Chain A
Amino acid sequence: MRAASAETEREFTRFVKETEPRLSYALAAACGIEIGAEATADALAWAWEHWSEVEEMKNPAGYLYRVGQSKARRYFRPAVLFPVVPSVETPTVDPDLGIALGALSKNQRVTVTLIHGLGYTEREVADLLGISRWSVRTHADRGLAKLKNALGVRIDV
């Protein structure tokens, strides 16, 4: 796609604005903060190079999530997937949150982050992960329970 029209670029920009947040958070939760960002950039770059295919897809976010996961395999897995963010930026975040997240399964991390942390619906997450809503709910509930348990928060279920 060497001679993309301005209209195509605008369509792609709109697509990125819609899709990127969910993709970024999901890949960050799945692969870790550092690799997640690289995988998101790779997946969106792939989307631009294959835009004619992507714009015809029924579930492009779900497809790009899988593309991102494939791209993530190229990177070395860091020792710490979820590094501690300086407390100035996140004064209310428990320093052990990253460790607790790392102890969850990949689907538990993605679902609990997107649903309980960022307010996405079960349907949106199910489309992204390519699993059923019931599975999404199960993963999210178990992930949340584990997180609360790990962080010493009382479980209200």
Chain B
Amino acid sequence: MSEVETQLREYFDAAVERVTAEDILAGHRVTEKVQFSRPRWHPRPAWAAIAAFAATVVVLGGSIGLGTWLRNPDEDAASGGFRGAVDTITGGSVPWWPIAVIVVAMAALVFVLTFMRRGIRKEKAMATTIDTPTSDKQLEDAQRNNHWLIGAVVVLAIALLALGAWVVYDQAQTADTAGSDAVIEMLDDYRAAWNEYDGDAFMALTAEDYVLVSSGGEEVARTMQASTIRGFAKGINFQVEQIGDPVVVGDGPYYVAVANRLDSDAYEGDLVDHVVISTFVVVETADGLKVAEHHTVGNT
């Protein structure tokens, strides 16, 4: 064998396929003149995944936004306030949030689709062996599209995070309904009035049209019940013990549910046998919160 230097020269002279200016110019003319259109919608898997992601965000955000908007408290006022009460449970008082999320997600989707269509618009012909599998224009488009793709993904991710934040905020609002603390405090006083046989306090805490509805469906008016508390209840040492935390919904009127254990000298057996579920309708009056209705269900 000859010297390494000689071998290198011979090897590369024999192996390397040289390129001439004529090749380049001819190839350029061919790719300029002959063009084939590719299918207008032929997304690659990554594009399809991005589009699906964006569609999911839009559909999810749209559903939540639409549902929230349909439960708008302002509109519910005209329908008797019931849906307004439900609204407080679901936190539907911020309808602009999901709408903003949807707008952002849709804008990102438009960007993605616009540049996806640009990227696949045309492909130059592969007519000669000197041509490349894809044109430089396509490569540059693809590189540019990648930047937009990353941007779109970031925007969509932010939109999704915002949506998630809104849901969390929404859930947090559910537990912390405005005015619920005052309602609970008032009902504590109401229960204390029963336990202390304080008819005057009972009268102060109930509305004029107050009614107590027992398990059997019997209705007792306000003054009658005050009298009962002062006399009969005191005679049998009637006591009410709250079990667990009350559930408050609505934003006026308030609907409250609470479990109570009852005790009295008239009862026999274990206290656990005398547990009732009491539901209250609490209204706001000029004198503050008042119990308008008191329903009991259970073993009294």
- Residues of A whose CB lies within 8 Å of any CB of B are 2, 9, 12-13, 15-17, 20-21, 24-25, 28-29, 33, 36-38, 40-42, 44-49, 71, 74, 82-83, 85, 89-90, 92-94, 97-98, 112-113, 116-119, 144, 147-148, 151, 153
7 tightest A-B contacts by CB?
A117-B8, A16-B21, A13-B21, A37-B17, A92-B2, A89-B14, A28-B16
Query: Bound complex: CA of A116 vs CA of B23, how far in Å?
Result: 29
| Residues of A with C-beta under 8 A to B5 | 116-117, 144
Q: Is residue B9 within 8 Å, beta carbon to beta carbon, of the partner chain?
A: yes
Using known A-B contacts A42-B132, A92-B6, determine if residue A48 contacts B15 with beta carbons closer than 8 Å.
no
Mind listing 8 A-B residue pairs with CB under 8 Å? A28-B12, A28-B16, A41-B130, A45-B28, A45-B132, A92-B7, A97-B8, A151-B4
Asked if residues A46 and B3 are in contact (CB atoms below 8 Å), the reply is no
Asked if residues B10 and A93 are in contact (CB atoms below 8 Å), the reply is yes
A67 to chain B, nearest CB (A): 10
Using known A-B contacts A41-B130, A93-B11, A117-B12, determine if residue A153 contacts B18 with beta carbons closer than 8 Å.
no
Asked if residues A74 and B24 are in contact (CB atoms below 8 Å), the reply is no
Question: Residue-by-residue, is B21-33 near A (CB-CB < 8 Å gives 1, otherwise 0)?
Answer: 1111101100010
| Residues of A with C-beta under 8 A to B17 | 24, 33, 37
Interface of B is mostly: helix
Asked if residues A97 and B130 are in contact (CB atoms below 8 Å), the reply is no
Interface of A is mostly: helix
B130 to chain A, nearest CB (A): 6
Query: Bound complex: CA of A37 vs CA of B17, how far in Å?
Result: 6
Residue of A nearest to B137 (CB): A49
Asked if residues A21 and B18 are in contact (CB atoms below 8 Å), the reply is yes
Asked if residues A112 and B8 are in contact (CB atoms below 8 Å), the reply is yes
Asked if residues B132 and A144 are in contact (CB atoms below 8 Å), the reply is no
Supply 19 further A-B pairs (C-beta < 8 A) apart from A41-B130, A92-B6, A112-B8: A9-B21, A16-B20, A17-B21, A25-B12, A29-B12, A41-B24, A42-B132, A42-B136, A44-B19, A74-B132, A74-B133, A74-B139, A93-B7, A116-B5, A116-B8, A117-B12, A151-B1, A151-B4, A153-B4
| Residues of B with C-beta under 8 A to A147 | 4, 8
Chain B residues within 8 Å of chain A by Cβ, number: 33
- Residues of B whose CB lies within 8 Å of any CB of A are 1-12, 14-25, 27-28, 32, 130, 132-134, 136, 139
Using known A-B contacts A92-B2, A112-B8, A117-B8, determine if residue A33 contacts B133 with beta carbons closer than 8 Å.
no
Query: Bound complex: CA of A47 vs CA of B19, how far in Å?
Result: 13
Asked if residues B136 and A49 are in contact (CB atoms below 8 Å), the reply is yes
| Residues of A with C-beta under 8 A to B3 | 153
Asked if residues B19 and A85 are in contact (CB atoms below 8 Å), the reply is no
Asked if residues B14 and A44 are in contact (CB atoms below 8 Å), the reply is no
Residue of B nearest to A153 (CB): B4
- Please pick, from A12, A38, A83, A113, the residue contacting B25 in the complex, using a CB distance under 8 A: A12
- Please pick, from B7, B14, B15, B32, the residue contacting A2 in the complex, using a CB distance under 8 A: B32
| Residues of B with C-beta under 8 A to A15 | 21
Residue of A nearest to B20 (CB): A16
Query: Bound complex: CA of A103 vs CA of B64, how far in Å?
Result: 61
| Residues of A with C-beta under 8 A to B4 | 116, 144, 147-148, 151, 153
Asked if residues A85 and B133 are in contact (CB atoms below 8 Å), the reply is no
Query: Bound complex: CA of A85 vs CA of B7, how far in Å?
Result: 12
Residue of B nearest to A37 (CB): B17
Asked if residues A85 and B15 are in contact (CB atoms below 8 Å), the reply is yes
Using known A-B contacts A45-B28, A48-B28, determine if residue A33 contacts B1 with beta carbons closer than 8 Å.
no
Asked if residues B25 and A48 are in contact (CB atoms below 8 Å), the reply is yes
A52 to chain B, nearest CB (A): 15
Asked if residues B15 and A33 are in contact (CB atoms below 8 Å), the reply is yes
